[in-house]
């Protein structure tokens, strides 16, 4: 008896990963990928990374709800957003180096479009706070040009779109206590303890 299936043409199963890679490559080539994202594991939990063609635009902690963050980016920046890890490989590599105590500062392009005015002035100052050091909200306010804007510094740090990379975790209260942090107090403690070691 002959096998009737032997004479049928071979069909190939579609691989979703392969299709996604093609979609990303085509979108990049055509200039249609406005936002690329990926997640990375870290000692402070999974981090969502998102980048435009200008640079890293968002870092989000798991507690911030990555799906909600992506939806917000889609409405704020562009709905043309895809999981495209390759665009974020340099950031992921530097974060890995940072968390294994091999890197003290980040050297990746940053897109600050999610911050304006005084908030942007605060964020631009934060990388000047050295690894393993802290500044008070009052010190940051003075450095950003508005010594009385201590609460506004707190808001700028709380709304920092690029935590860890733009180190708002290094800003503490005048009494040395941690204050608020987008990743939670335990994440802030972990980062400061790691840097102090």
Closest CA to 112 of 52, 62, 67: 52
Over its length of 197 residues, how does the chain's per-residue pLDDT go in tens digits? 455 545 555 555 556 665 656 655 655 676 668 999 999 999 999 999 999 999 999 999 999 999 999 999 999 999 999 999 999 999 999 999 999 978 999 999 999 999 999 999 999 999 999 999 999 999 999 999 999 999 999 999 999 999 999 999 999 998 888 888 999 999 999 999 999 98
Q: What is the pLDDT of residue 177?
A: 83
Q: Report the alpha-carbon distance of residue 37 to residue 48 in Å, rounded.
A: 7
Annotated catalytic residue 157: no
Q: Residue 25: its pLDDT value, please?
A: 63
Of 84, 110, 168, 192, the catalytic one is: 168
CA 193/CA 44 separation, integer angstroms: 12
What pLDDT shows up at residue 130? 94
pLDDT of residue 179: 81
Q: Write the pLDDT tens digit of every residue in 43-82.
A: 999 999 999 999 999 999 999 999 999 999 999 999 999 9
């Amino acid at each position: 008896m002959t096998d009737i299936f032997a004479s049928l043409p071979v069909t190939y199963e579609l691989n979703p990963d392969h299709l996604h890679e093609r979609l990303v490559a085509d979108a990049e080539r055509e200039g249609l990928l406005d936002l690329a994202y990926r997640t990375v594991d870290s000692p402070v939990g999974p981090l969502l990374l998102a980048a435009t063609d200008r640079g890293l635009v968002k870092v989000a902690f798991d507690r911030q709800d990555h799906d909600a963050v992506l939806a917000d980016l889609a409405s704020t920046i562009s709905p043309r957003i895809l999981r495209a890890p390759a665009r974020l490989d340099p950031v992921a590599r530097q974060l890995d180096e940072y968390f294994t105590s091999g890197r003290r500062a980040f050297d990746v392009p940053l897109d600050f479009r999610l911050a304006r005015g005084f908030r942007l002035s605060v964020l631009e100052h934060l990388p000047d706070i050295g690894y393993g050091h802290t500044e008070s909200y009052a010190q940051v306010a003075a450095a950003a040009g508005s010594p009385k804007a201590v609460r506004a510094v707190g808001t700028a740090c709380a709304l920092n779109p690029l935590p860890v990379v733009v180190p708002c975790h290094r800003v503490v209260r005048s009494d040395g206590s941690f204050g608020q942090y987008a990743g939670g107090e335990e994440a802030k403690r972990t980062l400061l303890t790691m840097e102090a070691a």
